Amino acid sequence: MSEILLDVKNLKKYFKTNAGMLHAVDDVSFSIEKGHTMGVVGESGCGKSTLGRTLLQLYEPTSGEIDFKGKNIANLSKKEFHQVRPKLQMIFQDPYSSLNGRMTVQQLIAEPLIVNKVCNNKKEIQERVSEIMDTVGLSERLAMAYPHELDGGRRQRIGVARALVLNPEFVVCDEPVSALMFPFRHRF
């Protein structure tokens, strides 16, 4: 039997602006089954990013319900939401602005593991970081590099690695592959 992972009901996110209320997300309802992918398509400014951010509580919803595994997470306290947050991750559209430039690739990918205390020791952290670097296609030799030393595609792979390293159950991808470059030269 299919399992509903995320069930969104009548979600609204309005922004107060000088010109009045801007209805960025207006009465959106959908559900996503476990293991499924949903694409959101629309012209620039239609509210795609706002929807993703509101689902993860980066914006407070104006109204509506966001049920994650049967529990409404739209009105949880900060402390309660903190407990489910590792299960919900986001790959940002602009990876560079979300990365601390003073941290190495290895430190950036290890950070979510340390903050959420999911590994028992340094060795476990290192093994998990190596594993996820391999998964997202970041060469081991880049472990000690800083974001400014890398091209946009590799920076984006750090963002993907940081989102996936905690084994999330739901990932919001905000135009996650626009910066990725694949080695097509072998084909042409």
Ligand X SMILES: Nc1ncnc2c1ncn2[C@@H]1O[C@H](COP(=O)(O)OP(=O)(O)O)[C@@H](O)[C@H]1O
Chain positions contacting Mg ion, by CB under 5 A: 48-49
- Please give the span between the terminal C-alpha atoms of the chain, in angstroms, as a whole number: 44
77 binds, among ligand X, Mg ion, none (CB under 5 to 8 A by kind): none
Question: What count of residues does the chain have?
Answer: 188
Nearest to ligand X of 23, 122 (CB atom):
23
Instruction: Please give the structure tokens belonging to residue 56.
Output: 């993860």
Pick the closest to residue 75 from 11, 125, 152, 168 (CA basis). Answer: 11
15 binds, among ligand X, Mg ion, none (CB under 5 to 8 A by kind): ligand X
Nearest to ligand X of 3, 27 (CB atom):
27
Tokens 């951010």 locate to: 53
46 binds, among Mg ion, ligand X, none (CB under 5 to 8 A by kind): ligand X
Within 10 Å of residue 162's Cβ, how many Cβ atoms?
24
Chain residues in the site for ligand X (CB under 6 A): 15, 17, 22, 24, 42, 44-50
Nearest to ligand X of 42, 183 (CB atom):
42
Taking the complex as a whole, the smallest distance from the CB of residue 49 to Mg ion amounts, in Å, to: 3
Q: Between the CA of residue 146 and those of 105, 106, 108, 111, 129, what are the distances in Å? A: 6, 9, 9, 14, 15
Nearest to ligand X of 46, 114 (CB atom):
46
